[in-house]
């Protein structure tokens, strides 16, 4: 995890490796840039700490992690801390106290810092106008944007744009190109292999280490391309119908790649396990891949739980081709966006092109998600999420746990999934020993599962 050093005498905070050499007695440390800013410090102009990942550590309680995930998804763009607390089942006062105790900031301060840092990166990396940067970063007005940038960086956006370095600008033939910073070690090859094995035909593709997928924003199509960029960042190329709110597109892409969290505590604990230790030593940069579309992954999990891999892939391809919005002229095998839950909820089960009663299950799942009885925004505790999913006729525990894993539930463990069982046997764990062996992996069984699944690739 990145630790930021703030100097009392200058009022400036830096990231590790900065050339500044203040006296030790004048230095305070913060785990988040937002916490340093909340304490009154401004970002160093030399080391530019807004360009590093700055993820929340995995030592924070699950409630805080779920709140962070909702904030990253835009929960505080227009709503209040009280509304966020209500979504999580706690008071705003308790939520603020939890954030202050574990992150050093309030939820509002955390959200504001993320927007400001993203805007600063856009000012550096892109040629978007100042107004486009403001709305792309989730600010409601130019006045709000200017005020936030002056508070965080002590300069107006125009002055910050004028300071960017020649090497910052990312030139592109098309689309908006951005850096997605991560904290090393990070294994993109492992992540892209995981995603490739689960790619939905027509919606996702992987070629030469680059992941591509179609998306839909308010009914308009777009395409994302995600691949290696450098020692501390991935490169995202986004072809979008508009730039407003692009911060959430970028945050969802980072979550998909698993770089929205830094599993320091999890990796340290699992490294001491007799089974997982060698796997972590071989691939120390493995993360838990997230999702772009939670409903898409839910359908994939349900279909894959009932059909062999090749049949599941074919069935998903037919489902998408028959019901997904067509997106023409893309290449790389991309032809459709994945259908929304509200759309599939209206399609008769026998017209979904799925065998063995799967049509009824997928339609029931679509109706549950569309109605709100199943919520897939990452704000639910693991037990509640799994419970709501298995209440849908035809959805089993393995599919529910796999979706929970991808949604960020750190102790999700699809132990009865055939692929997981095969991986366990491959690593010397018999079915009757799974419960006892996995007990020592808590509460990081999601990361343990990904290591196990990747161990055979």
Q: Which residues are catalytic?
A: 14, 417
3-state secondary structure of 440: coil
> Does residue 229 have a cis bond before it (omega within 30 degrees)?
no
- Interatomic CA distance for residues 392 and 414, integer angstroms: 17
Q: Are 191 and 258 in contact (CB under 8 A)?
A: yes
- Interatomic CA distance for residues 329 and 107, integer angstroms: 42
Max distance between CA atoms of the chain, in angstroms, equals 72
Own/partner pairs, 211-220, CB within 8 angstroms, 24+ separation: 212/332, 212/334, 213/292, 213/334, 214/327, 214/330, 214/334, 214/336, 214/337, 214/338, 215/249, 215/292, 215/293, 215/337, 216/325, 216/337, 216/338, 216/340, 217/241, 217/242, 217/249, 219/325
Q: Are 395 and 387 in contact (CB under 8 A)?
A: no
Q: How many Cα atoms occupy the beta-carbon half-sphere of 201 within 13 Å?
A: 14
- Interatomic CA distance for residues 33 and 31, integer angstroms: 7
């Amino acid at each position: 995890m990145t630790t930021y050093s703030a100097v009392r005498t200058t009022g400036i905070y830096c990231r590790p490796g900065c050339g500044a050499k203040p006296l030790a007695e004048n230095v305070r440390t913060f785990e988040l840039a937002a916490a340093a800013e909340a304490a009154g410090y401004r970002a160093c102009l030399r080391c530019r700490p807004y360009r590093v990942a700055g993820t929340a550590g995995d030592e924070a309680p699950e409630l805080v992690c779920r709140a962070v995930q909702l904030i990253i998804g835009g929960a505080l763009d227009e709503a209040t801390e009280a509304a966020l607390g209500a979504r999580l089942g706690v008071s705003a006062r308790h939520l603020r106290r939890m954030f202050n105790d574990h992150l050093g900031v309030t939820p509002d301060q955390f959200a504001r810092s993320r927007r400001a840092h993203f805007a600063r990166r856009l000012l550096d990396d892109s040629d978007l106008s100042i107004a486009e940067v403001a709305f792309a970063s989730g600010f409601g007005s130019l006045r709000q944007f200017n005020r936030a940038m002056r508070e965080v960086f002590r300069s107006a956006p125009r002055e910050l744009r004028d300071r960017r370095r020649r090497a910052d600008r990312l030139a592109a033939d098309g689309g908006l190109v951005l850096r997605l910073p991560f904290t090393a070690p990070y294994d993109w090859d492992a992540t892209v292999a995981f995603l490739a094995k689960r790619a939905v035909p027509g919606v996702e593709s992987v070629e030469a280490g680059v992941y591509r997928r179609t998306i839909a924003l308010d009914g308009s199509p777009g395409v994302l391309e995600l691949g290696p960029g450098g020692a501390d960042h991935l490169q995202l190329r986004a072809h979008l119908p508009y730039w407003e709110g692009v911060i959430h597109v970028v945050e969802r892409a980072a979550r998909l790649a698993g770089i929205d969290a830094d599993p320091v505590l999890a990796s340290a604990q699992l490294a001491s396990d007799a089974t997982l230790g060698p796997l972590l030593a071989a691939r120390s940069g493995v993360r838990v891949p997230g999702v772009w579309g939670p409903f898409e992954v839910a359908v994939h999990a349900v279909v894959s739980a009932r059909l062999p891999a090749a049949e599941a892939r074919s069935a998903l391809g037919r489902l998408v081709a028959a019901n997904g919005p067509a997106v023409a002229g893309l290449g790389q095998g991309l032809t459709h966006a994945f259908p929304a839950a509200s759309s599939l909820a209206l399609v008769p089960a026998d017209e979904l092109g799925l065998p063995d009663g799967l049509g009824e299950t997928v339609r029931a799942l679509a109706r549950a998600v569309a109605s709100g009885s199943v919520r897939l925004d990452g704000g639910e505790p693991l037990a509640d999420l799994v419970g709501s999913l298995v209440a849908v006729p035809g959805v089993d525990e393995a599919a529910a746990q796999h979706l929970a894993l991808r949604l960020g539930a750190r102790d999700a463990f699809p132990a009865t999934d055939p692929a997981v069982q095969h991986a366990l046997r491959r690593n010397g764990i018999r079915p009757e020993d799974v419960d006892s062996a996995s007990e020592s992996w808590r509460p990081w069984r999601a990361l343990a599962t990904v290591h196990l699944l990747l161990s055979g690739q």
